[in-house]
Chains A and B, each alone.
Chain A
Amino acid sequence: AQKVTQAQTEISVVEKEDVTLDCVYETRDTTYYLFWYKQPPSGELVFLIRRNSFDEQNEISGRYSWNFQKSTSSFNFTITASQVVDSAVYFCALSEAVAGGNKLTFGTGTQLKVEL
């Protein structure tokens, strides 16, 4: 069975601090995909990144970066120089392929609060 663990329930930082959100996953699949989504207070779910199990290169997008380590089954997300607009719940998810689509297993989310 697939499992995603986000052990940090809530993190509070002061603006401009760097923050890392942890994600640990379990799967028996040799090919799998991982995702991060953001859910701001307005409630919508915003796709941030997709990463496949064959690509262990770290990725950077502006202030966001992702560290994928297969050896520790982790896919951590770092926000550099956090801003108040980064306040949201962040979800890590693992996909299981089914015919034609993906079944996403979500972690329980990490609530990030960025204060002035």
Chain B
Amino acid sequence: DTAVSQTPKYLVTQMGNDKSIKCEQNLGHDTMYWYKQDSKKFLKIMFSYNNKELIINETVPNRFSPKSPDKAHLNLHINSLELGDSAVYFCASSQSNSGSRRYEQYFGPGTRLTVT
């Protein structure tokens, strides 16, 4: 019954490795997001997909590649990991906008990535 789930919860890896984080939501939402939370707790959006189409692509190194196989899943693949990628990555989902109406985002539990 978890609304937005992410795996893994913790990820410890070495510099230069490639890793993926998976996200799934069972809320029936059309839009999913990835956010990065740094060590100072600052939250910044990275990507968003609506119905499997990329709608937000912030200034993120191209080592980060999101993939949405269907509306309920959004994965994040990171190549050639660097020390600065260490952070907590949150997945979120929301309903699509309806006219001028906008909806809250529901967040997953986060994945703490540590690059050594």
Contact = CB atoms under 8 A, between A and B. Distances in A.
Interface of A: 31, 33, 35, 37, 39, 43-47, 50, 52, 89, 91, 95, 97-104, 106, 108-109
B74 to A, nearest CB: 12
A43 B88 contact: yes
7 contacts: A35-B105, A43-B88, A44-B107, A44-B109, A46-B107, A101-B50, A102-B103
A98 B56 CA distance: 8
Which of A52, A97, A99, A101 is the most central at the interface, judged by chain B CB atoms within 10 Å of its CB?
A101
Nearest to B53: A100
B63 interface: no
A97 B103 CA distance: 10
Mostly, the A contact residues are strand
Interface of B: 30-31, 33, 40-45, 48, 50-51, 53, 55-56, 88, 90, 92, 94, 96-97, 100-107, 109-110, 112
Contacts of B109: 43-44
B94 A102 contact: yes
Nearest to A89: B41
B55 A100 contact: yes
B108 to A, nearest CB: 8
A100 B51 contact: yes
A100 B45 contact: no
A45 B96 contact: no
